[in-house]
Amino acid sequence: MDHSSGQVVWTPSRQQIERANVTRLMRRHGIETFEELRARSVADPEWFWPAVVDDLDIAFTSPWTRLVDISRGPQWATWFEGATVNAAYNVTRHGSGSRAESAAVVWEGEDGSTTTLSYADLKRSTAQAAGALAQLGVTQGDTVGLYLPMIPEAVIAFLACASIGAVVVPLFSGFASEAAVVRLRDAGVTVLVTADGYLRRGRVQDLKSTADRVAVGAGIQKVLVVSRFGRCATWDPQRDVAWDEALDRAQPIDPVPLPAETPMLIAYTSGTTGRPKGSVHVHGGWVVKVAEELAYQFDVGPGDRFHWVTDMGWIVGAWMTIGVGTLGATLVLYEGSPDHPEPDRLWRLVERHGVTVLGVSPTLIRSLRAHDDHWLNGPDLSSVRILGTTGEPIDPSSWWWLFDQVGGGRCPVINISGGTEVGVCFLSPHPVNPLKIASVHGPVLGLDVDIFDTSGRSAEVGQMGELVCRGVWPGMTRGLWRDADRYLKTYWARWDDVWVHGDWAVRDEDGFWFLHGRSDDTLNVAGKRVGPAEVEAALTAHDAVIEAAVVGVPDPVRGEALCCYCVIAPDHGPTDVLRAELADLVVQRMGKPFRPRMVRFVTALPKTRSAKVVRRAIRAIAMGEDPGDISTLEDPGALSAVRNPS
């Protein structure tokens, strides 16, 4: 199939439409079409967001007197004025209701060990952990660092912090100590929750020793240590506290009602330059927005089992912890590598635990595609009804593989885009929408999203432009932690009262939207501006290429010339013939001015844990410059591959 045909390749069946949560919402309010719902949700937020709260039974412990206040400007909008709410309570409340014995969290370790927590278990453990934090001196407004692998205690600790009004600062479990220290210092963290280790590709990773260095560097006063393996190389009796012992002696504390604007989360994301940005999210706005997304975009509800291959240090960790739990579904966690010990590990996990909603990043899709498709033949994936992906623009070939090979052509691919700062989605299909390959379909409900040209007007059909948002929404960040000026300069400075997201987007003649990468990665070749994702899609269309990154370097004639870095499949060699074929393919897809100056073969691309390729580092190496801050890279060794290509 031509993966760039632009044709609709999936249409929901009547049964899929009938069972969709968003269909229920429409019928409750006499709305006949999704397009009508989207338009009304933007035009009448005073109707839409209360309708969401009611439809999803989101628990506010006291009502709001005003839905939204923009008296300080849209940059500083506040929501649910006068109301009290607790995001953790919206999850743990199921521990006392009809879902008390239903599975809240199912965990599988890389060694095959498993644990299941019912909602009653989760409520009890969260209350004990909240009491343990209080005994360590944590009070409302204090920041608490989570430096944990994907184990049940990561969910419990997150909810425990939120329960008592502490602010969660989740960190990627693979961070080196320096990267963790920078974030914990910035957030003013004095209490850290960690584990003695975790498994990755069959090897025990000593997380506690790294946490010791982090504690010293960040001035941490207390470290709460979860025992995954029952051994720690070092133990400071003045600072370190055993998780199990702390919970056993704690007095349980149930979630306390909090003003809706109480900070709940500082989620760090990397800028292209400078120190990491700490996006602040609050209880009321977060629980409403993420529950709305998971209910209406991913169709999550009681009885579903949701698994996304992620880490608690990425925004998806917080998103699914609160969103899936609020909706009373089951969160499936996995500790290790999704292709260990065999490439079918993820598919076997789906089968074992009956996963119904499965999320994978484009990077992981490309990695799994590199293995022979026979690994998909054995496991039974019939439980899956919704597929998801996010993290970067997905290339058409990978989208099609996920849709056709993993989903069997029967499951919609909910290709979402948004970010840490927007909590969480700007663009997404819904399960009642038809799909085109690699499309994000269009704006989500309740947000006035547009594509602007350089003059600040809505871009024409087929014209690539800046992704922007007018108006406000509950899940938007309440600014960057202790850096209001940077927040305003980063998102609000280009056009008055308009959020500029930093992504290139385009819509086709049928109204389907597509992403083309970060606008700060824009390539300008012979006066033509293109996103790198478009060129990368041309390269990955070749069977030999697993993934690719394209950067521009100065060129005296064309302004910029293209440098292409490709990871190739094991059964292809880095030959000059392949190099020429790839260059010709770019010309065929993009035109003669876009013939690459060079095509290089590498064993890996430098990426963040959230699967974004760090093109600025690649470009710096291509130009012989210092790549700058690389603390957010999942594997800093990938830079060596770029420095020493074939």
Confidence of residue 467 (pLDDT cuts 50, 70, 90): very high
156-176 mean pLDDT: 94
Segment (H or E) for 125: helix 119-135
Question: Which residues does 569 contact at the CB level (< 8 Å), separation at least 6?
Answer: 370, 543, 544, 545, 546
Distance between CA atoms of 320 and 266, rounded to whole angstroms?
16
pLDDT for residue 6:
87
pLDDT for residue 3:
62
pLDDT, tens digit (0-9, with 9 covering 90-100), for 313-372: 889 999 999 999 999 999 999 999 999 999 999 999 999 999 999 999 987 898 899 898
The fraction of the chain above a pLDDT of 70, given in percent, is 97
pLDDT at 477 over 90: yes
Alpha helices in 359-461 (DSSP H): 362-369, 396-401
Per this entry, what is the length of the chain? Answer: 646
242-263 mean pLDDT: 98
**What tokens appear for 532 in the block?**
């790198």
Contact (CB, 8 A) for 312 and 150: yes
618-626 mean pLDDT: 89
| Total Cβ atoms within 10 A of residue 374 | 9
Alpha helices in 219-356 (DSSP H): 243-249, 283-296, 315-326, 345-353
Average pLDDT, the chain: 93
**What tokens appear for 33 in the block?**
């079409």
Query: What global pTM score does this model have?
Result: 0.88
Distance between CA atoms of 500 and 255, rounded to whole angstroms?
36
Phi, psi (5° rounding) for residue 270? -90, 140
467-480 mean pLDDT: 97
Cα 210 to chain centroid, rounded: 25
| Total Cβ atoms within 10 A of residue 373 | 11
Best-predicted range by mean pLDDT (488-492, 554-558, 590-594): 488-492
Distance between CA atoms of 633 and 380, rounded to whole angstroms?
34
pLDDT at 495 over 50: yes
pLDDT for residue 272:
43
pLDDT, tens digit (0-9, with 9 covering 90-100), for 385-413: 999 999 888 989 999 999 999 999 999 99
Confidence of residue 527 (pLDDT cuts 50, 70, 90): low
Torsion, Cα of 545, 546, 552, 555 (10° steps)? -20
Alpha helices in 557-596 (DSSP H): 576-590
pLDDT at 557 over 90: no
The fraction of the chain above a pLDDT of 90, given in percent, is 79
Cα 317 to chain centroid, rounded: 7
Contact (CB, 8 A) for 459 and 451: yes
pLDDT for residue 209:
95
Segment (H or E) for 561: strand 559-568
pLDDT at 427 over 70: yes
pLDDT for residue 637:
81
pLDDT for residue 273:
44
Pairing of strands 523-525, 513-518: unpaired
pLDDT for residue 416:
97
C-alpha radius of gyration, the chain, whole number: 24
pLDDT, tens digit (0-9, with 9 covering 90-100), for 313-325: 889 999 999 999 9
173/222: higher pLDDT: 222
**What tokens appear for 309 in the block?**
């291959």
Fold of domain 522-643: GMP Synthetase; Chain A, domain 3 (3.30.300)
pLDDT, tens digit (0-9, with 9 covering 90-100), for 277-313: 899 999 999 999 999 999 999 999 999 999 999 999 8
Distance between CA atoms of 560 and 578, rounded to whole angstroms?
23
210-216 mean pLDDT: 96
Report the Cα–Cα distance between both ends of the chain, in Å, rounded.
Answer: 31
Confidence of residue 588 (pLDDT cuts 50, 70, 90): confident
94-107 mean pLDDT: 97
Domain boundaries in the chain? Answer: 522-643
Q: Where on the phi/psi map is residue 502: left (φ > 0), alpha (ψ -120 to 50), or beta?
A: left
